Amino acid sequence: MKSIVMVFGTFDILHLGHIHMFEEAREYGDKLVAVVARDINVEKVKGIGPFHNENERLKFVKHINLVDEAVLGDKTDVYKVIKKIKPDVIALGYDQRVYIDKLSRALVELGLNKTKIVRLSECQPKRMKTTKIKKYIERMI
């Protein structure tokens, strides 16, 4: 049986930091599932909506061959996709902080006590971060 690794993100403007994330996450299992944040949740968390809508971002991620499956998250229950897919490992980006405080407890409540949570390393955070890329693009326009 293949072990499943799950990552979460907005994946608005894909860059090498995302590729690094996918590569490192794959090391923890056989199948990589990327959960793309819904537009409404991105706006809630970041205070601004994404440049690309959720269906466009999902399509981009589906075309990355490091990712075996890409799915949209749930609009109201961020843990619903975890319950459905039942990953063996949840790989968090080095800078992911939202919803993480309750993740361990949610896994226990979902009956996923054996699911491990790992933190991925950063990749050039001064350059490879979507907010920095957006600011650079804005200066160029």
pLDDT at 38: 95
Mean pLDDT of 83-106: 86
- Does the structure show a pLDDT above 60 at 125? no
Domain enclosing residue 126, as ranges: 4-140
pTM of the model: 0.85
Q: Where is pLDDT greater, at 136 or 4? A: 4
pLDDT band at residue 133 using 50, 70 and 90 as cut-offs: low
Mean pLDDT of 44-72: 94
CATH code of the domain covering residue 52: 3.40.50.620
Structural domain count of the chain: 1
Cβ within 8 Å of residue 86, ≥6 positions away: 4, 112, 115
